[in-house]
Structure 1
Amino acid sequence: MQVLVIDDAQINVTLLCRLLEKIEQCSSISFLVPESALAWCQDHVPDVVLVDYMMPAMNGIEFIRRFRTLKHCADIPVLMITANDEVALRYEALEVGANDFLIKPVDKIEFLARTKNMLALRRNQRYLENRASWLDAEVQKAILEIRAREQETILRLCKAADSRDPETGAHIVRMANYSCLIAKNLRLPESVQAMILEAAPMHDIGKVGIPDHILLKPGKLSADEFSIMKTHASLGHQILAGSASETLQMGAEIALSHHEKFDGSGYPNGLSGTNIPLSARIVAVADVFDALTSERPYKRAWEVDRAIEFLKDGSGQHFDPLCVDAFLADFSQVLAIKERYREDSDDLKVFGSY
């Protein structure tokens, strides 16, 4: 442990440093000028400070006051050495942050005892700091493990829905990354971008509750069948709602509202404009674009330009204009996502970034 010694008299500095040599695992660094000691403390953290009170340019009390303004030195034990035993001086020293005192002439035994006490105090401080750092690291480790399990659960839920839907796994990866791109171009916080990337794949999870004869029907649905199909939005919300997970909460609002339309003509609640959750407005653009540009057993893929025109034509009616503009703002990234996550790609990681 390192003790900082400050005294304007070299003989006093030499004496104190010699005494410190008698303490095991203790080294010293000394300064005759308190300003130089403060400059050293800008980049270093002593374990204990021994400072003389009577010094010409800056006395010990002023040194302690300035020393305590250094954030990393706020709790370092300070022992002030003085020939003045006035109570008022001690009170002032305690107010600025002194921990203990020594009266000159310094008694060797008392000096060693008080310094060892200060070192023991600092040793306990360091133990607690290390313990706090270890606990913080363990907490972060546990959070990452919980996060990984949550992501696995989400992925398995999405796969469960996907196994019954003619749409492919590549679709949910692409639309999730498209959604993240829109969030990024809308300048949403990175934490929200990441959450949308993970929550977007859950948009159609309610399809697990739709009968096969409707879900897998190759042709156009009848009015009654379409009414049943539309319930997947509410079913998805019921599956995901009520979770303590913020990601699943966002997944629930996306599942419920991604078929709402900006002009209020969507379902299930006929919401319009900004009454539709932003996450759902984002996913609506991403989901429709990928559905249009993807080949299915019952349809051919649209050309990208045709799909872009569809989004533009639907801006302000089906889609939030801001989300459409954000999607088209950096279209090279859209094409990069489309190319990276092809149907035959081995890189279908939902939670990877584009």
Structure 2
Amino acid sequence: MGQSSSNTAGNEELMPETPEIMDVHDGRILIVDDNPVNTALMEKILRHEGYTQIDVTCKPVKVVEMYRLDPYDLVLLDVHMPTMNGLQVLAKLREAFPDDYLPVVMLTADHSDETRNQCLSAGAKDFIGKPFDRTEVALRVRNIMESRLLHKELKIQNEELEERVHERTQQLYEAQSKVIECLGKAAEYRDNETGMHVIRMSQSCALLAQELGLDDEQCELILRASPMHDIGKIAIPDDVLLKPGILNTQEWETMKTHSEVGAEILSGYDTELMQTAAEIARTHHERWDGKGYPDGLKGEEIPLYTRIVSVCDVFDALTSERPYKKAWSVKEAMDYLNAHSGTQFDPMVVEAFVRVLDKVVSLRYRFPDLTVMH
């Protein structure tokens, strides 16, 4: 029972408050007729019924622009006009506002089935016959205005609900991103106690992705997903992970399992962020020449996100101090990347990395590996 109540409360938070329905008499009305006598008569009837926001035009060519400046809740449109008839005006409105609910009522003395069918096919919502009957005008206008205003209220409710859902989704995304970053740091902490490698590496990935022409959303995705690439290291024994010397064959096979373990840890989630993180974790030790692990992927079989991560990860690792090595200089690291371009790394990615090298190097000053006191 407690869980049910909690879920109900959560759903209620997502539901927008039901706004008060507007009074139909507050709606805005546009009368379009080339005959000033007709427009004056219609305006008089409507004002008698309590409508106050009424505009009138005898020039149908102005209707689209008038509607664009401030959409009307009702357009009373004469069918037969000399310069542009009502059907042509309605067609222009539908072309200009294809997604809008166009509250158009046709004014006509032509009661033929052909005219009515043409108007309905063109998108008209109703008809008012000429000469005008006050009761008919009052009833038909009120019906259309109620429909229009209800449509507006529902649209507002839907927009508010969509905004709240978007906010909740963004909150969830941020929470997932923070968990990924923290777990990435936790994995890195085992052999680099400050955990700043994953920060620099992910920032480098975003810079490189941008240089390669990926859009903002894709750059954000690799920034968020890449820190988890080495999460599988949490399953590697300390005597292997922290060994200062060269690993023997058995130890190396143990070390290599971290890619598959990482992918398994991150698998089973249906969000793009987690799926991308799992993909990167599994494939970040694949090589351009097909001699990597665990799947021996070759060339563009390797996901682009992973090819980006591979270059940024290796560069930062080479220029960082580890229990088993001293930090390399930037020149030494770049010599390594260039020497292995086309074998270990995607040549296109290496070339792009050279273009952002200065920005990448500056990250080490922003996110330095601080000495940890024991």
- TM-score w.r.t. structure 2 length? 0.85
Aligned residue runs from structure 1 range 93-242, under 5 A = 93-166=119-192, 168-242=194-268
Counterpart position of 1:327: 353
In structure 2, the CA distance between the partners of 1:299 and 1:23, relative to structure 1 (3 Å rule), is farther
Counterpart position of 1:309: 335
Counterpart position of 1:290: 316
Tell whether 2:274 aligns with 1:274.
Answer: no
CA distance in 2, matches of 1:57, 1:231: 78
What's the Cα RMSD here? 2.2
Aligned residue runs from structure 1 range 19-34, under 5 A = 19-24=45-50, 26-34=52-60
In structure 2, the CA distance between the partners of 1:21 and 1:272, relative to structure 1 (3 Å rule), is same
Aligned residue runs from structure 1 range 14-53, under 5 A = 14-24=40-50, 26-53=52-79
**Preserved CA contact (<8 Å) 2:75 2:103:** yes
**Preserved CA contact (<8 Å) 1:165 1:207:** no
Matched to 1:88, the amino acid is: E
In structure 2, the CA distance between the partners of 1:154 and 1:25, relative to structure 1 (3 Å rule), is farther
CA distance in 2, matches of 1:96, 1:114: 19
**Preserved CA contact (<8 Å) 1:260 1:270:** yes
Residue 91 of structure 1: which of 117, 132, 135 is its match? Answer: 117
CA distance in 1, matches of 2:286, 2:267: 18
Greater Cα offset, 64-73 or 139-148:
64-73
CA distance in 2, matches of 1:177, 1:233: 21
Structure 2: stretches of 5+ with no match in the other structure? 1-26
In structure 2, the CA distance between the partners of 1:344 and 1:64, relative to structure 1 (3 Å rule), is same
- Report the CA distance between 1:21 and its aligned residue: 1.9
Aligned residue runs from structure 1 range 234-253, under 5 A = 234-253=260-279
3-state SS of the aligned residue for 2:184? Answer: helix
- Report the CA distance between 1:279 and its aligned residue: 2.3
**Preserved CA contact (<8 Å) 1:204 1:236:** yes
- Report the CA distance between 1:122 and its aligned residue: 0.7
Greater Cα offset, 17-26 or 43-52:
17-26
3-state SS of the aligned residue for 2:69? Answer: coil
3-state SS of the aligned residue for 1:221? Answer: coil
- Report the CA distance between 1:58 and its aligned residue: 2.4
In structure 2, the CA distance between the partners of 1:85 and 1:273, relative to structure 1 (3 Å rule), is closer
**Preserved CA contact (<8 Å) 1:20 1:27:** no
3-state SS of the aligned residue for 2:196? Answer: helix
CA distance in 1, matches of 2:347, 2:365: 25
- TM-score w.r.t. structure 1 length? 0.90
**Preserved CA contact (<8 Å) 2:63 2:89:** no
**Preserved CA contact (<8 Å) 1:168 1:343:** yes
In structure 2, the CA distance between the partners of 1:232 and 1:21, relative to structure 1 (3 Å rule), is same
CA distance in 2, matches of 1:157, 1:176: 14
- Report the CA distance between 1:25 and its aligned residue: 5.8
3-state SS of the aligned residue for 1:92? Answer: helix
Deviation string 1:234-271 (CA, Å, 9 cap, x unpaired) is: 21122112321222222222222222222233333333
CA distance in 1, matches of 2:205, 2:32: 61
Matched to 2:39, the amino acid is: V
Deviation string 1:199-226 (CA, Å, 9 cap, x unpaired) is: 2111111111111222222333333222
- Report the CA distance between 1:101 and its aligned residue: 1.8
